[in-house]
Amino acid sequence: MRNRNYLVKAAPKRPFMRLNEAADYLKLSPRVLRVMAKAGDVPCKSCKNGTSERLTYFFSQSALDNWLNGNGGENQ
């Protein structure tokens, strides 16, 4: 029998995911996830990107999993 594990997406190897990776993980568009992060509706860390006014968001997979399961998740 053929192994069907290829259908399951591999977890990221880093402790934090960037916006596009987290959006893909949550099956959301990056634009929607950015709005949710800016509003504080999803657990994430943010920092200014150099001299730009735009924030860069980082997402912990474990915090996102807790958030999805209704256990909150920590906005760090």
Contact 59, 46 (CB under 8 A): no
The total of structural domains in the chain comes to: 1
Which residues on neighbouring strands pair with residue 45, listed in sequence order?
Answer: 58
- Percent pLDDT > 70 in the chain is 75
Q: Give the residue numbers spanning the domain of 59.
A: 14-68
What confidence score (pLDDT) does residue 48 get?
83
Across 67-75, average pLDDT: 74
Q: How far apart are CA 55 and CA 46, in angstroms?
A: 6
Q: How far apart are CA 72 and CA 74, in angstroms?
A: 7
What is the per-residue pLDDT across 12-41, written as a single tens digit (0 to 9) for each?
A: 566 899 999 999 999 999 999 999 999 999
What confidence score (pLDDT) does residue 71 get?
76
| Residue 75 counted as domain residue | no
| Residue 35 counted as domain residue | yes
